Amino acid sequence: MPQARGKKYKEAAKAISRTEPYAPDEAVRLVLKSSTSKFDGSIEAHLRLGVDPRHADQMVRGSVVLPHGTGKKRRVLVFATGEKAREATEAGADYVGADDLVKRIQEGWLDFDVALATPDLMGQVGRLGKILGPRGLMPNPRAGTVTFDIGRAVKDIQGGRIEYRVDKTGIIHTNIGKASYSEAQLRDNFAALMDAVVRAKPGSAKGQYLRSVYLSPTMGPSVPVDPAAAGRMS
């Protein structure tokens, strides 16, 4: 049975066309206006790509630094030892360790948002694949979360770096800001994401790459964006 929509949602939805997608700047204006939450909700981007993620050469994933961040504090865990552990701590990581963190996670602890690791510890971290992988928390070189430049990686994440990855249906879902952002701030973040995703297009992907693009608030109607125009953002 479909969920009943509230009065605020219905009023906001009246201003949004469901048949004609909008130019990116207009979509940004509308999604900020359509947020109906009393709290400072998030704004998300949802991109349907013309890829088949069942094939490894069509998996689209990576990371991008949003110019204005996501507006959300992210708890960063780092697998590192020695000097690299000190570097991570000084950069502002919330949790730093090696075997001790592996054990805690194996016991069910998952109170963090992003996991980083130095390459020399991936042998130990690899044991957590079945736990972290399905949750999108497994460190991966393609996402920039396996690196010896660990201090910079921590600062990038705290400064607004996000990871994106297609799910099994070929859709990317990611946060690009808050409902309190200005149109310019949200537009900049949206453009950074679109530029990164377009650059990440697999050579094996055939046909239309950007099938559909939507912006949506935590509470409120989503806004369709013209995929071709979104793909040209910079």
- Backbone φ and ψ of 40, nearest 5°: -80, 85
pLDDT in tens, 68-84: 988 888 899 999 999 99
Q: Is the pLDDT of residue 28 over 50?
A: yes
The C-alpha angle with vertex 12 and arms to 8 and 15, in degrees rounded to 5, equals 155
pLDDT of 171 reads 97
Q: Is 88 left (phi over 0), alpha (psi -120 to 50) or beta?
A: alpha
Model confidence, pTM: 0.75
Between these two residues, 73 and 151, which has the higher pLDDT value? 151
In the block, tokens 């953002």 appear at 233
pLDDT, one tens digit per residue, over 89-112 is: 999 999 999 999 999 999 999 999
Average pLDDT of span 143-155: 93
Q: How confident is the model at residue 1 (pLDDT cuts 50, 70, 90)?
A: very low
Give CA 222 to chain center in angstroms.
Answer: 17
Predicted local distance difference test score (pLDDT) of residue 11: 76
Strand order in the sheet with 95-97: 95-97, 76-79, 114-117
Residue 2 pLDDT more than 70? no
Residues paired with 97 in a beta bridge = 79
State how far the Cα of 42 lies from the Cα of 189, in Å rounded to an integer: 13
Q: Counting beta carbons within 10 angstroms of the beta carbon of residue 203, is it exposed (0 to 12), middle (13 to 18) or buried (19 or more)?
A: exposed
pLDDT at 4: 61
Q: Read off the pLDDT of residues 31-72 as tens digits, 9 standing for 90 and up.
A: 999 998 888 999 999 999 999 999 999 999 888 989 998 888
Identify whether the C-beta of residue 209 lies closer than 8 Å to the C-beta of residue 232.
Answer: no
Q: Is the CB of residue 12 less than 8 Å from the CB of residue 217? A: no
Give the range among 12-16, 38-42, 207-211 with minimum mean pLDDT: 12-16
Q: CA 80, CA 88: separation in Å to the nearest integer? A: 8
Domains of the chain, each with CATH number or no CATH:
11-69+162-231 (3.30.190.20), 76-158 (3.40.50.790)
